[in-house]
Amino acid sequence: MDRIRITGGNELHGIIPISGAKNAALPLMIASLLTDDTLTLENVPHLADVEQLLRILGNHGVDVSVNGRRERQGESYSRTIHFTCRTITDTTAPYELVSKMRASFWVIGPLLAREGRARVSLPGGCAIGTRPVDLFIEALTALGANIEIDSGYINATAPKGGLVGARYVFPKVSVGATHVMMMAATLANGQTVIGNAAREPEVVDLANCLIAMGAKISGHGTSTITIEGVSSLSGARHRVLPDRIETGTYAMAVAMTGGDVVLEGTDGALLETALEAVRRAGATITQTETGLRVVRNGGAIKPVDVVTDPFPGFPTDLQAQFMGLMTMSNGVSHITETIFENRFMHVQELARLGAKISLSGQTAKIEGVSKLKGAPVMATDLRASVSLVIAGLVAEGETMVSRVYHLDRGFERLEEKLNACGANVERVSD
Ligand SMILES: CC(=O)N[C@H]1[C@@H](OP(=O)(O)OP(=O)(O)OC[C@H]2O[C@@H](n3ccc(=O)[nH]c3=O)[C@H](O)[C@@H]2O)O[C@H](CO)[C@@H](O)[C@@H]1O
Ligand SMILES: C=C(OP(=O)(O)O)C(=O)O
């Protein structure tokens, strides 16, 4: 199994191209199930989760063709992929495929909307909480679906004549359930109004793509999304938006090591709250014509308190990385996690590097230390693993991160991108 060896101590200087967003690419790919025409997605990142979803979509009958020429966006290798699902060949998403990745469960929306039935295994994904699916069930039930849970599978059937538009207010904001209800409602009869909808940029990206496919959607980006059902959707060409979590991760890495890096092809508007926290920690961040420039020229890292929240709040997917940064602040900071109940698994691993962190319920208290020291650490989930990389970049000596497969789910060519800016990061295959 691969491991990542980081020799700490170098500042970061140069350009890091930001890839297409994993969490936008996945629902966009799933939207290809809604049409018998070709959906072309540009800027699809080359990640383990994307490859896994390609297998899952193939199982449902999606024909995939990847352009031989890799699209060159700066130094990125994100690809253009064509998805064509003439007919849905299988409405079952089996445990073996779905258990590896949370988002694969989302095929339930398009399968139900287009074929009137779906049998989908309960999902897997990062072990950061219990992650139930009750909101999906409620939302699809509101659209008229009949849902039964049997042997770890959800069996869903639409009424004769198809799903029926409805008004439904989510009791809690859910990105995935908003994606699914929006996709399902595009082909339902009549109007659907989603209340307390997720406002994440990835939801907006999916809505824009669905609109390009002929869906009638308004209000995306606000808490109320309205969808007028149509009888069919067509193909479209859509570019996946830049990855705001990758953007924030590298911004935090530069704030940690010091240096001057342009994060190319990204947009600060996608993560204002997180960037504000990095600025308060001591970095200067400016939007340039090509991307975001992040600079920290000496000076201390200052302690900053953050609380995770749905968009436009501080993203839970940047919580671990920000904690990595705070381990070296010159004071005491607090980080409160409000989205997932078990998203602090990086705490004990950061402690191996010398970080001083204590937990009280959903809040971590981080007492900044003046130096970290390299050690063997274990990646526990996707964002937790990259927080260890960030800490390793400044830790004295060698940090060896094991279980790198977590990182490969969400960070395209991490070592190359960091090394191009002066880091010393090496993948070691045993
Ligand atoms: C592939 C992808 O895009 N994953 C992102 C997505 O995950 P995901 O879509 O799974 O996250 P949700 O927004 O659904 O989860 C938010 C909260 O709602 C709860 N919940 C969700 C559904 C449900 O039926 N019942 C329920 O209680 C969850 O357990 C969690 O506590 O949004 C999360 C929150 O921004 C991010 O951390 C993930 O990176
Ligand atoms: C938690 C994440 O992914 P998933 O929802 O697929 O587990 C993530 O992208 O940080």
Q: What value does the mean pLDDT take over residues 307-315?
A: 98
pLDDT in tens, 157-187: 999 999 999 999 999 999 999 999 999 999 9
What pLDDT, on the 0 to 100 scale, is given for residue 380? 85
Q: Which one of the ligands is nearest to 122 CA?
A: 1
Top mutation candidate among 50, 149, 175, 336 for ligand 1, by most atoms within 8 Å of CB: 175
Which atom of ligand 2 sits closest to the CA of residue 316?
10
pLDDT reported for residue 74 = 46
Residue 75 or 11, more confident: 11
Q: CA–CA distance from 310 to each of 10, 146, 242 (Å)? A: 34, 29, 18
Q: Mark the binding-site residues for phosphoenolpyruvate, compressed into ranges.
A: 22-23
Percent of the chain having pLDDT more than 90?
Answer: 89
ipTM: 0.99
Distance 410 CA to ligand 2 centre (A): 8
Question: Could you confirm whether domain 22-239 is CATH 3.30.360.10?
Answer: no
User: Would the CB of 174 count as within 6 Å of ligand 1?
Assistant: yes
Atom of ligand 1 nearest to the CA of 133: 24
Q: Measured in angstroms, how far is the CA atom of residue 417 from the centroid of ligand 1?
A: 28
Examine the pLDDT at 386 and tell me if it is beyond 50: yes
313 has a pLDDT exceeding 80:
yes
The rounded distance, in Å, linking the Cα atoms of 408 and 414 is: 8
Q: Other C-beta atoms within 10 Å of 132: how many?
A: 10
Distance, in Å, from the CA atom of 401 to the CA atom of 7, rounded to the nearest integer, reads: 11
Mutation choice for ligand 2 from 47, 136, 317, CB with most ligand atoms inside 8 A: 317
Can you tell me the distance from the alpha carbon of 170 to that of 195, in angstroms, rounded to the nearest whole number?
6
Annotated binding site for UDP-N-acetyl-alpha-D-glucosamine: 102, 131-135, 172-175, 317, 339
| Model confidence band, residue 125 (pLDDT cutoffs 50, 70, 90) | low
Superfamily for domain range 3-18+242-428: Enolpyruvate transferase domain (3.65.10.10)
167 with 193: CB under 8 angstroms?
yes
Domain with CATH 3.65.10.10 in the chain: 3-18+242-428, 22-239
> What's the CA gap between 285 and 281, in Å, rounded?
11
pTM, entire model: 0.97
The pLDDT-based confidence of 1 (bands split at 50, 70, 90) is confident
Segment 19-41 mean pLDDT: 98
pLDDT score at 128: 76
- 270 alpha carbon – ligand 1 mean position (Å): 18
- How many CB atoms sit inside 10 A of residue 430's CB? 6
SS3 for the chain is: CCEEEEECCCCEEEEEECCECHHHHHHHHHHHHHCCCEEEEEEECCCHHHHHHHHHHHHHCCEEEECCCCCCECCECCEEEEEECCCCCCCEECHHHHCCCHHHHHHHHHHHHHHCEEEEECCCCCCCCCCCCHHHHHHHHHCCCEEEEECCEEEEECCCCCCECCEEECCCCCHHHHHHHHHHHHCCECEEEEECCCCCHHHHHHHHHHHHCCCEEECECECCEEEECCCCCCCEEEECCECHHHHHHHHHHHHHHCEEEEEECCCHHHHHHHHHHHHHCCCEEEECCCEEEEEECCCCCCCCCEEECCCCCECHHHHHHHHHHHCCCCCEEEEECCCCCCCCCHHHHHHHCCCEEEEECCEEEEECCCCCECCEEECCCHHHHHHHHHHHCCCECEEEEECCHHHHHHCCCHHHHHHCCCCCEEEECC
pLDDT, tens only, 66-107: 874 454 444 446 789 999 999 999 999 999 888 888 899 999
* Confidence class for position 3, pLDDT limits 50, 70, 90: very high
Give the tokens for residue 33: 């199930």
Say how far residue 192 (Cα) sits from the centre of its chain. 26
Give the pLDDT mean for 206-211.
98
Cα(145)–Cα(91) distance, rounded to whole angstroms?
Answer: 15
For position 75, what pLDDT does the model report?
Answer: 45
Residues 6+ away with beta carbon under 8 Å from 61:
85, 86, 87, 88, 89, 90
User: What distance in angstroms lies between residue 187's CA and the mean position of ligand 1's atoms?
Assistant: 24
Catalytic residues, by residue number, are: 126
Judge if the beta carbon of residue 178 lies within 6 A of ligand 1: no
Residue 56 has pLDDT above 80, yes or no: yes
